Each structure stands twice: as C-alpha cells, then as structure tokens.
Structure 1
C-alpha cells in the first residue's frame, strides 16, 4: 500500500515538473516570437492549397471568391472598422485634405512614374529572360490604388492613424477606377510599350461599374452600418470589442489571409506563375521587395519633410508677419504626426490585388492571352508588401510609443516637481509659524 502511494506521489511530482517545464518553454521569448509569426504559417498553408486546389477560392470558383471573399471578407474588415471608430473622429479625418493629397500623389503619380522608368530601363537592356508582358504587369501594378485591407490592419496594429487609413482606402480606390485606366493609357502609349496598350472601351466601362459597385458594397455600406450600430447600441458594441480584445481575436488578419488566398488561387488557376521563367519570378520577388522599401522611404520623406521644420521652427504670434502667419497655416500641417506618417507609409507604398485583378482583367477584356503574365507582378507585390509591412509594424509601434513614453516621463517629472514645490512651500509656512 505504501509503495503504491509513493509511486503515485512520484508520478504526480513528475507530472507537475514536466508541466512546469512545458509552461516555461511555452512562455519563452523565442517561443513567443514563433507564436507571433502565425500569420505566415497560415499564409504558407493557404498558398499550398491554392497551388493544388486553385478552383476552390478563385474568382468564379467553387465558393465564388470574387463575392464570398472579394466582397464578404473585405466588408467584414470595414464593418469592424465602423464599429470601433468614433464618428466625429472619422469625419475629421475625412476632411484631412492635405494627407489625402500626399497619399494620392504618391500612390498614383510618384510610384507609377518611377516604375515606368525602371521598366523602360529593363526593356532597353533586352534581357530575353525578362518577359515583355511582365514589364507591362509591373506598370499596371504601379498604377493601382492602395490596398483595401492590409494597410488598415497594419496601421492599427502599429498604433498609427487607422481612421485616416480607412478614409484613404475609400477615396483612393474610388478614384482608382478612373485614374488607373488613364495612367495605363498614358504609359502604354509610349512606343516602347505600345504592345501592351489595352485600348478597350467596353472593358473600361465595365471596369467603372464593377469598381464602384465593389467599393460601395464592401467598403462604404459596412462602414456605415458599423457606425450606425456603434452609435445606437454603444453598450453591446463595447462588449463585443472587449470580447475580441480579451481573447486576442484578430478578425482583420483572418480576413486578410482569405483575400490573399483568393488572389493566389486566381493566379494559379490562370497559370500566372508557370507562364514566365523561374528567373523572371526570382527577379520580380527581389525587385518588388526593393520597390516596397524604396516607396516606404519616399512616403516618409513626403510625410515629414525636414525643411518645413527648419523654416517654421516656432508657431506664429502677434509679432509675426502676415506672410509667416499664413505660410505657417498653409505649409506647417504638411509635417505630419508619427501616427499620420505611419498611415501614409502603409497606404502610399501599398497596391491592391483585391481590386487590382478586376482593374487588369477589365482593361484587357478583348485579349486575355497574356493575362497570367500581367497578374504575376501584382500578386507577388501584394504578398510581399504584407510580409514586409508586418515586419515594419513592431518598428513603427516602437517609434510611436517612444514619444509617448517621453511625454509621460515629462508629465510625471512635472507632477513630481510640483509636489516638491508644494511640499517646500508648506514646510516654509510651518517654519514661519
């Protein structure tokens, strides 16, 4: 009997010890880092599924990806945004015309002109391993508006101004229906890329209808519904948001995985990755990576130009000239806060695949023989921008919180000094008495 009891006690002690070791391993910093990379593990699984079963989630496939994911997943992201954003703050960001102007100029004009220059240089090199239609695909990718999902999610996770990001998604993608085809016509009218000119009037008309319908149903309507629910049922909305926060439920990230699953499924079904050489794919991977980092740097320079701070060091006062006063009011707001800068960096460098595929397909409605090659740069750029952006999130978050920490330290120091002053004054009074 004693032996049996001793054996059981030993088993219990061993079990507790093993459990303690496992708990220690589970909470180890390296394990926590690996757990934090769950998004990439899931993305790899979805890419494998898309490779071997592309018909499941592709546009027009088994689950009708263009509707169930292209509308449903995107709508859920913006419904979530509508539930969590205060209406007055959303309206204030909607009228932030300076930020919208900067992002739109970068997204449509700066990025496309730079990529056009690179594409022209590559074309002049006459490298037979780089397909000519892939270069057209690069130009098409650069003319697309900002993405509809990943930038909102990444901006929110980094602590940036995600409300401004939502406004930009709506404005940028709505304008993209008109600006993107015009830019494509402009760049492909050059003799160097004349072979890639879509020149499809019927395709453009269908494109406008499709984009306006998709933006309306997947962005505007769910955002509006979310705002109504938030203002009418505030208590229940807060309970729902607290539930998501408590259990670390990241709906935006889950929906983003589905959007990328749909993009890869459509690309694999259209033989996008097998229609060009392996060398061309490798080139695109490194080229897109360099482009995204380069555009992110450009966005930072546009968002925080050093010369504005040099010129307008101090706020105007009664002694300032009228020229300085009005110049300060006009130009000083172009030097953005860190929160707005993070939004600009994520929005300006990103390109949409959710709407980009529709933009490309509609423009080449008359001839889809090279559609697979055209989509390769777009699909690869989307996946790489999500990966690189997720790496940037902790860096941007640390950058934003650094100022907040300094501000809190300054406030606590001020409070401490005030308390010491009060204490000294009270001590002085007591001595006088």
Structure 2
C-alpha cells in the first residue's frame, strides 16, 4: 500500500504532471466550449440561468469587487487622472486597430474569394471597433505585474466611451463602398444601445469597484483576512469568472447557429487572422508605449543652468509618453483586446433589423475573445520576465508563475497598509526604464 502511494505521489509531482496541472485553464476552457456546443441554452444570453445577468453582470462584478478590495484609493485616483496613458490606449483601441482591420478587410474583399463570407468581413470590422475587454486584460495585467490600477481605470473609461464611439466608427466604415451593404443605420435601437451599455458598465464595473473600495477602507482587517484566505488556498476568483464569461459567449454563439452559418474555410481564416492581428497589435502597442525616439531625443532630465528652455519644455511635454514597464504592460493588454461581454450588446443592438446575419457577425468577436485570452496567457510570462530584467530584487522571487497559470488578483498586495505594488503612473512617467 505504501509503495502504491509512493508511486502515485511520484507521478503527481512529476515535471510533466506539474506542467499539465499548470494548464488547467485551457483544459477547463475546452470542456466548457464542448458543453456550450451541446447544451447552449444553459448559459446563453436569455437562457436557463439568464447568462446576460448571472454571468454578464455577476461574474464581471465579482472581478471588479476583487479589484476594489485590493487597490489603494489614492493610487486608483492617481491613475484615473493619467490622461496621457488613457489617450494612448483609446487611440490604439478605437482608431488604430479598427483602421488597420478595415484596410485588411478591404484587401480581402477586393480579392473576391467566394469562400470568405461578406458578412464575416463586416463582423471583423465590428470586432475591431469594440472597446477593450472588461475582464481578461485586468486579470492578465495583474498576473504579469503591470499597472492593474491603470487597467481598471481604462476598462471603465473605454467601455463607457465605447457606447458612443463604436457606433460612430461602424457608420464611418460602412457608410460607403465596399461595405455599404453592412450599414446598420436604420434609426432604431441606438438609444436603447446607449442605455444598455451605461447600465452594464455602471452595475458590473463602477458599483462593485466602489463597494470594494468602501469595504477596504472601512473594514481593513476583515478585507485582509478575506484576501489572505483566497491566497492561502489558491482560490483564483478572476480565472473562474473569466472562464464563465467565455462559456456564456460561446453558448450564445452556438445557440444562434453562428458557426453553422459560416463555412469551415471561413472559420479557419478568421482564427488565423485573429491570431495574427492580435500579435501584431500587441507589438504595435509596445512601440506606442515606449517609442525609442523619445529616449534618443531626451536621454536625461533637464539640468539647471545647462539645459535650454526649449529642452526643458519639450522634455516635460513629450518625455511622459515614454511609459514605465508597468504602464507599458497595461497598454499592451488593453490596446489589442476587444470585449465580448459588451461587444455582443453593441452588435445586436445596432443590427436589430438584420438579425438573419447576426450569427455571422458574432463569429469573429467570439473567436477573437477566446484567442486573445489564450495568447495573452502566453504573453504573461514573457512580460513578467521583461519586468524583472532590470530589477534584481525581483529576480529571486520563488513565487513567480508561468504565463499559463491562473491569474492572481491578490498577489503582492499588503492589505494592512493598503500599499499596492504598482506606482501611480504620474510619478513614474519621468523615470528612464532602460
């Protein structure tokens, strides 16, 4: 009996077994997608458990309640006022990504490949115009050691503005050839769209974040006990909620026969296109977050009596746009990411009179969400290693996890002092991170 227990223990602690255990997120994701395929009515929008409320509101709210419990109020407000980072992320998320995807779609349309559905191309454009995702970028940024405070602020700002910007971009891209057939401008549903987005952002992001901040400041000891309990028993709330959000999106897509309405060749094209464009946008976000020419032009801080007035003014104006590594990680996760939680609402509300094509329109968005989560999980370990490269004090940490392990929203947060590991962007913008 002892020999058998010893063999089981040896197998359980084997490096291969440890690696497979670290991939639990992807195994669970595959299982949930299979369940969504054969039982789509359970978690779909309007299904058995009313996924639009129980998951669309409940799971997202829980993630931001956790964020509110673990973030210092002063640091959160400092990042809310970091207009430079918000401007960079918003331009990336709405203007740059959508323009590039629109150009690619025009090229594909001009090729006149009959196997690529015209409404799928509209779906790709719609996906590119959506705001940043609500949940996954916060989890991934936190796990990689980036500025999660800035990420939370960007989720709130980006999704709030998305209710106005996304429909306007859709009108701009579909108002003329070659995609005028996909113009949703019917005059119906836009007002309801704004109301629905405001309601969802308010109840699932702002309210739980505010409640978490209140609880943290009023009951610091109980908050510390709760967060310590989650960390002690390795309870990863963010990862569990993220799985349920993806599960609900796939359930809705399968219930609406989204994948059945598109050819296999077209789905393969979407998968490879989404993967390539996400990696490309991540690299582009890095170039926007840490442009090399700013360091070349402003290699050091102005020196009194030696630096010219032009250099001092130019330094104060342009140097903050070379962001710290923590902020850059946030930008690289927020810039390319697209939300399915609000994206489905944005699409269905605009195309209320063209529901016969709704399945095709949703396919790119649903697939993009799953692919961005899986790809971002692989980037986590790379970003974490890059962040520690110039910080010897972090190099000896034994608790570092691979990018495929579950995100930990509670990591490195001291609840007794309320001190967060990230430094407000405003105070670190002038530092030269080599």
Q: TM exceeds 0.5?
A: yes
> Structure 1 residues 37, 208: closer, same or farther in 2, change over 3 A?
same
- The answer to whether 1:401 aligns with 2:382 is no
> Structure 1 residues 229, 407: closer, same or farther in 2, change over 3 A?
closer
Q: Which residue of 1 aligns with 2:378?
A: 391
Deviations along 1:229-268, one digit per CA (max 9) or x if unpaired, are 0000000000111111111111000000110011000000
Q: Aligned with 1:370: secondary structure?
A: helix
Instruction: Determine which of 244, 263, 277 is the counterpart of 1:291.
Output: 277
Q: Which residue of 1 aligns with 2:182?
A: 196
Q: Which residue of 2 aligns with 1:418?
A: none
Q: Which residue of 2 aligns with 1:53?
A: 39
Deviations along 1:328-378, one digit per CA (max 9) or x if unpaired, are 111111111111111100000100000000000000012211000000000
1:119-198 to 2 correspondence within 5 Å?
Answer: 119-198=105-184
Q: Which residue of 1 aligns with 2:412?
A: none
Q: Which residue of 2 aligns with 1:227?
A: 213
Q: Which residue of 2 aligns with 1:332?
A: 319
Q: Which residue of 2 aligns with 1:343?
A: 330
- The answer to whether 1:264 aligns with 2:258 is no
Q: Which residue of 1 aligns with 2:26?
A: 40
Q: Which residue of 2 aligns with 1:424?
A: none
Q: Which residue of 2 aligns with 1:241?
A: 227
Instruction: Determine which of 103, 128, 141 is the counterpart of 2:89.
Output: 103
- Partners of 1:257 and 1:88 in 2: how far apart? 31
2:388/2:395 contact within 8 Å kept:
no
Q: Which residue of 1 aligns with 2:351?
A: 364
Q: Which residue of 1 aligns with 2:303?
A: 317
- The answer to whether 1:21 aligns with 2:4 is no
Q: Aligned with 1:403: secondary structure?
A: coil
In the alignment, structure 1 segments of 5+ residues that lack a partner are 1-14, 410-433
Deviations along 1:385-407, one digit per CA (max 9) or x if unpaired, are 00000111111111112222278
Deviation at 1:220, TM superposition (A): 0.2
Q: Which residue of 2 aligns with 1:208?
A: 194
Instruction: Determine which of 65, 73, 93 is the counterpart of 1:87.
Output: 73
> Structure 1 residues 270, 314: closer, same or farther in 2, change over 3 A?
same
> Structure 1 residues 407, 155: closer, same or farther in 2, change over 3 A?
closer
For normalisation by structure 1, the TM-score amounts to 0.90
Q: Which residue of 1 aligns with 2:362?
A: 375
Deviations along 1:294-343, one digit per CA (max 9) or x if unpaired, are 00000000001000011110111202111111111111111111111111
> Structure 1 residues 408, 284: closer, same or farther in 2, change over 3 A?
closer
2:249/2:366 contact within 8 Å kept:
yes
Q: CA RMSD in A?
A: 1.2
Deviations along 1:168-209, one digit per CA (max 9) or x if unpaired, are 000000000000000000000121000000003221111000
Return the structure number with greater helix share: 1
In the alignment, structure 2 segments of 5+ residues that lack a partner are 397-434
Q: Which has the larger radius of gyration?
A: 1
For normalisation by structure 2, the TM-score amounts to 0.89
- Partners of 1:407 and 1:27 in 2: how far apart? 26
1:55/1:265 contact within 8 Å kept:
yes
Deviations along 1:47-74, one digit per CA (max 9) or x if unpaired, are 0111011111000111110011000000
2:261/2:360 contact within 8 Å kept:
yes
Deviation at 1:150, TM superposition (A): 0.3
Instruction: Determine which of 51, 54, 73 is the counterpart of 1:65.
Output: 51
- Partners of 1:408 and 1:327 in 2: how far apart? 35
Q: Aligned with 2:356: secondary structure?
A: coil
2:388/2:394 contact within 8 Å kept:
no
- Partners of 2:339 and 2:4 in 1: how far apart? 48
1:82/1:230 contact within 8 Å kept:
yes
Aligned length: 395
Q: Which residue of 1 aligns with 2:405?
A: none
Deviation at 1:292, TM superposition (A): 0.3
Deviations along 1:14-41, one digit per CA (max 9) or x if unpaired, are x333333332332232222111110111
1:203/1:366 contact within 8 Å kept:
no
> Structure 1 residues 147, 316: closer, same or farther in 2, change over 3 A?
same
